[in-house]
Chains A and B, each alone.
Chain A
Amino acid sequence: MTVGGRAVEAMVDRTWVPSEILGAEGWGRTASLGLLDLNVAVHSDDAAVLGVVEELFAPLIVVGGTAQAVLIGSAGAEDDRCYFVATDEGIVVRTPARTIAFAHLMFELNQRAITHSSAALRMHAAAAVVDGRAVVLPGPMGAGKSTLVAGLVQRGFAYVTDEVVAIDPARGVVRPYPRPCSLGVPPAALAPIPWSPGEAAAQYLGASGFVPADRLGVPAAADVPIGVVVLPTYEPNAMTTITPLDPMALLAGVASHTFALGTPGTLATLATLLDGVPGFHLVSGDLDEAVDGVLDVARLGTRR
């Protein structure tokens, strides 16, 4: 298989020159996606993947402007096909599994959003908005951030993000980043989500459980101040408890999920942003109870 007159197999094995693929026959691109401070377009030789990417990132589609290219494509004979993801820095992954390539594409897009938005203070967190204030949910992978924020959105909160909360340090506001929500296998407590990707797209999505933000509920559209911070911990079968955090524990808890903490001044900026913000630790094994708990404390944030 050749693209742009060169064998893709040769390209993916050697120095990568993506410009030779961009615009090549059989390749297309998505609309530009506004990932915080970065505009990206996904290029592929498969219209199905372009379609599912545009569906997933629909709230983030922007018009005009230049966009960095991230490529997802395939190479090789039908019985020996490999899928690859590449950027202008080279091959990200080469794999026989479409789902793995797609997972890497989603990871790469998110990483680029993080690294290209350094003006903002960024943390590994989900967030949703109620009454004009953000409920920020920092936590490690597996803490239940995405599921909890999905539960909040289904109760009327606006969806900010499930993975990266970006805060403008100058204005102290959370910026919307309604990327696809990664729910895996959605828990039964969530109402059915009205979205079913086509058969071809499903071959890429696999069991990733990505859901477009605008199918989950209402994506947040404007910057909002922080109302309350809740550090969630998912523990199967655990009784739901929500415990206030003192300012020091809150700062430490949030800092441990903050990106680029080595940048001078980040911790002090975070301390300023969290000054006076109520903080809580939520432990729960039940989504409805967890959402109820967050709803209770979110009212504290809206009174500030």
Chain B
Amino acid sequence: MSGVAPVDATTWVYAPEPSQFVAMADGVVIASGTEIHTLNLAAASVWAACEERVQLARVADQLAVEFSADPTVVRRDVVAAARGLIDVGLLAVAAGEVAPPPAFSKPLLQPAPACSACGPGPDYEHAVLVDVGAGVLAIGADDQVASALEHALGDRAIGRIDHPEDRPAYGVVLPSAPSRGPMTEVSRLHRGPDVVLRSRSPERVLDAVLAQIATHLIQPGEMVLEAMSVGRSDAVVVVPIPKNRVAFERAAARAGLRCADIPSTILAADEPTVVTGAAALHPDRRALAEVAAARHHLEGEPDGLAWGRYRVASVLVAGPPTVASVLGEMAPSVASETTHGDLDEVVARLRALPVRSGISLATVIRMLDDGRRAG
């Protein structure tokens, strides 16, 4: 027994500072003490990515995105390359298997659970820490999704907690393969312990988590409704989230309509306008798209409404067409000043909305058509 821990994708490594190195067209020449090493471009990429303490899985995910390569193959190659680099002393295994939680000065935001029957929620491999200005959101995810999220969010991703003991604010679960047994597991977005979105499409869940993050970054004059926008490229109707979202979306798709990916809508108050998606985050979604493509898909999920800003043709509520109904049926369960704002302001904004009573697809279509004629 050598006592040396095996090296795999979960191993944390770092590159001790070499004496000198020269980057060349085909790789890198490194002088380390009296030793000279040459690394080809692939090995040099791994070495360079380990300048600071990092987990090999994360290195692999970054390189897979960078070189548009199969993440599974890249992970295997990265581990093999790392073993070689460790053997010659160009990489060192970092002490301790688990990274300490990153230090940050802002509070962790924890959306309040809306449902007490959901149990504690899933366990996550990692929690990606996202700076949303007023605080930090923890997003639970598996290793690949965590890396892709970090890539997508850029500087907003300020750290990662491995095997978080505390429940993250949001969590993403994307099955890799069809589940065994009679129940079909689909991709899910969790808010705390609650499931806020189930989808046959991993892409839509990943878009949804970005959109949820975006709701924590609303600008003055905007507010969040936990509602669905359904419509066309020129206008939408805002409705409470249907109990059977998939059935509603399929029916809407048959009528030539599309629904926003997310259960939350950011409403700009200066004019009846909704903002869907997370364009404000300017995310780089390539890594997320690659991860999503590799996960299990089920047929039958209509495409979502493209991210953007839409004119509101109408807001439909089940109750009377009042501000109280809008608040009661669409107020977000995320209890936070960031998303609610002052109640008087909220009420004033909601009064400006064209609220109608009665939720049906036929009403949605009529409101859109009326709005188009009026426009």
Q: Which of B31-39, B217-225, B365-373 contacts A (4 or more CB under 8 A)?
A: B31-39
**A255 engages B36 (CB within 8 Å):** yes
CB-CB under 8 A from A264, the residues of chain B are 20
Query: Considering the chains assembled together, what is the distance between the CA atoms of A255 and B22 in angstroms?
Result: 11
**A247 engages B19 (CB within 8 Å):** no
CB-CB under 8 A from A47, the residues of chain B are none
- Among the listed A249, A256, A262, A268, which residue makes an inter-chain contact with B22, where contact means beta carbons less than 8 Å apart? A268
**B22 engages A266 (CB within 8 Å):** no
Any chain A CB within 8 A of the CB of B113?
A: no
**B34 engages A261 (CB within 8 Å):** yes
Looking at chain A's contact residues, the main secondary structure is helix
Q: How far is the CB of A125 from chain B (nearest CB, A)?
A: 15
Query: Considering the chains assembled together, what is the distance between the CA atoms of A264 and B19 in angstroms?
Result: 7
CB-CB under 8 A from A252, the residues of chain B are 29, 36-38
**B34 engages A255 (CB within 8 Å):** no
Any chain A CB within 8 A of the CB of B27?
A: yes
Q: How far is the CB of A38 from chain B (nearest CB, A)?
A: 24
Interface residues of A (CB under 8 A from B): 246-249, 251-252, 255-256, 261-262, 264-268, 271
Any chain A CB within 8 A of the CB of B24?
A: yes
**A271 engages B36 (CB within 8 Å):** no
**B31 engages A248 (CB within 8 Å):** no
Least CB separation from A275: chain B residue: B24
Known contacts: A247-B24, A267-B21. The answer to whether A256 contacts B29 by CB under 8 A is: no
Least CB separation from B18: chain A residue: A267
A-B contact pairs, 24 of them (CB 8 A): A246-B26, A247-B25, A248-B24, A248-B26, A249-B38, A251-B22, A251-B24, A251-B29, A255-B36, A256-B36, A261-B19, A261-B31, A261-B34, A262-B19, A262-B34, A265-B20, A266-B20, A266-B31, A267-B19, A267-B22, A267-B29, A267-B31, A271-B22, A271-B29
**A248 engages B33 (CB within 8 Å):** no
**B20 engages A248 (CB within 8 Å):** no
CB-CB under 8 A from A256, the residues of chain B are 36
Quick one: which of B322-344 are within 8 Å of A by CB? none
Q: How far is the CB of A126 from chain B (nearest CB, A)?
A: 20
Instruction: List 5 tightest A-B contacts by C-beta distance, closest first.
Output: A267-B20, A256-B36, A271-B22, A252-B38, A255-B36
**B26 engages A255 (CB within 8 Å):** no
- Among the listed B20, B24, B26, B27, which residue makes an inter-chain contact with A261, where contact means beta carbons less than 8 Å apart? B20
Least CB separation from A262: chain B residue: B19
Q: How far is the CB of A127 from chain B (nearest CB, A)?
A: 20
Tell which of B25, B27, B31, B33 has the most Cβ of chain A within 10 Å.
B31
CB-CB under 8 A from B37, the residues of chain A are 252
Least CB separation from A247: chain B residue: B24
CB-CB under 8 A from A261, the residues of chain B are 19-20, 31, 34, 36
CB-CB under 8 A from A249, the residues of chain B are 38
Query: Considering the chains assembled together, what is the distance between the CA atoms of A246 and B26 in angstroms?
Result: 9
Query: Considering the chains assembled together, what is the distance between the CA atoms of A252 and B34 in angstroms?
Result: 12
Query: Considering the chains assembled together, what is the distance between the CA atoms of A268 and B22 in angstroms?
Result: 6
**B38 engages A248 (CB within 8 Å):** yes
Tell which of A249, A252, A262, A265 has the most Cβ of chain B within 10 Å.
A252
Q: How far is the CB of A180 from chain B (nearest CB, A)?
A: 27
Q: How far is the CB of B125 from chain A (nearest CB, A)?
A: 38
Query: Considering the chains assembled together, what is the distance between the CA atoms of A267 and B20 in angstroms?
Result: 6
Query: Considering the chains assembled together, what is the distance between the CA atoms of A268 and B31 in angstroms?
Result: 10
Q: How far is the CB of B308 from chain A (nearest CB, A)?
A: 49
CB-CB under 8 A from A247, the residues of chain B are 24-26
Least CB separation from B37: chain A residue: A252
**A248 engages B36 (CB within 8 Å):** no
Quick one: which of B1-52 are within 8 Å of A by CB? 19-22, 24-27, 29, 31, 33-34, 36-38
Q: How far is the CB of B28 from chain A (nearest CB, A)?
A: 8
CB-CB under 8 A from B33, the residues of chain A are 262
Query: Considering the chains assembled together, what is the distance between the CA atoms of A252 and B26 in angstroms?
Result: 13
Least CB separation from A266: chain B residue: B20
Query: Considering the chains assembled together, what is the distance between the CA atoms of A267 and B32 in angstroms?
Result: 11
Query: Considering the chains assembled together, what is the distance between the CA atoms of A265 and B21 in angstroms?
Result: 9
- Among the listed B19, B29, B34, which residue makes an inter-chain contact with A248, where contact means beta carbons less than 8 Å apart? B29
Query: Considering the chains assembled together, what is the distance between the CA atoms of A256 and B36 in angstroms?
Result: 6
Query: Considering the chains assembled together, what is the distance between the CA atoms of A274 and B185 in angstroms?
Result: 61
Query: Considering the chains assembled together, what is the distance between the CA atoms of A246 and B25 in angstroms?
Result: 10
Q: How far is the CB of B24 from chain A (nearest CB, A)?
A: 5
Query: Considering the chains assembled together, what is the distance between the CA atoms of A247 and B27 in angstroms?
Result: 10
CB-CB under 8 A from B26, the residues of chain A are 246-248
Query: Considering the chains assembled together, what is the distance between the CA atoms of A251 and B27 in angstroms?
Result: 12
CB-CB under 8 A from A255, the residues of chain B are 29, 31, 36
Tell which of B24, B25, B34, B37 has the most Cβ of chain A within 10 Å.
B24
Q: How far is the CB of A243 from chain B (nearest CB, A)?
A: 16
Q: How far is the CB of A219 from chain B (nearest CB, A)?
A: 31
CB-CB under 8 A from B38, the residues of chain A are 248-249, 252
CB-CB under 8 A from B19, the residues of chain A are 261-262, 267
Known contacts: A247-B25, A252-B29, A261-B31. The answer to whether A268 contacts B20 by CB under 8 A is: yes
Q: Mark B201-237, 1 if CB is under 8 A from A, else 0.
A: 0000000000000000000000000000000000000
CB-CB under 8 A from A248, the residues of chain B are 24-27, 29, 38
Query: Considering the chains assembled together, what is the distance between the CA atoms of A246 and B31 in angstroms?
Result: 18
Known: A251-B29, A268-B22. 11 other contacts (CB 8 A): A247-B24, A247-B25, A252-B29, A255-B31, A261-B19, A261-B36, A262-B31, A266-B20, A267-B21, A267-B22, A271-B22
CB-CB under 8 A from A265, the residues of chain B are 20
Query: Considering the chains assembled together, what is the distance between the CA atoms of A264 and B18 in angstroms?
Result: 11
Least CB separation from A267: chain B residue: B20
Least CB separation from B21: chain A residue: A267
Q: How far is the CB of A229 from chain B (nearest CB, A)?
A: 15
Query: Considering the chains assembled together, what is the distance between the CA atoms of A268 and B19 in angstroms?
Result: 11
Query: Considering the chains assembled together, what is the distance between the CA atoms of A247 and B29 in angstroms?
Result: 10
CB-CB under 8 A from B29, the residues of chain A are 248, 251-252, 255, 267, 271
Q: How far is the CB of B201 from chain A (nearest CB, A)?
A: 46
CB-CB under 8 A from B24, the residues of chain A are 247-248, 251, 271
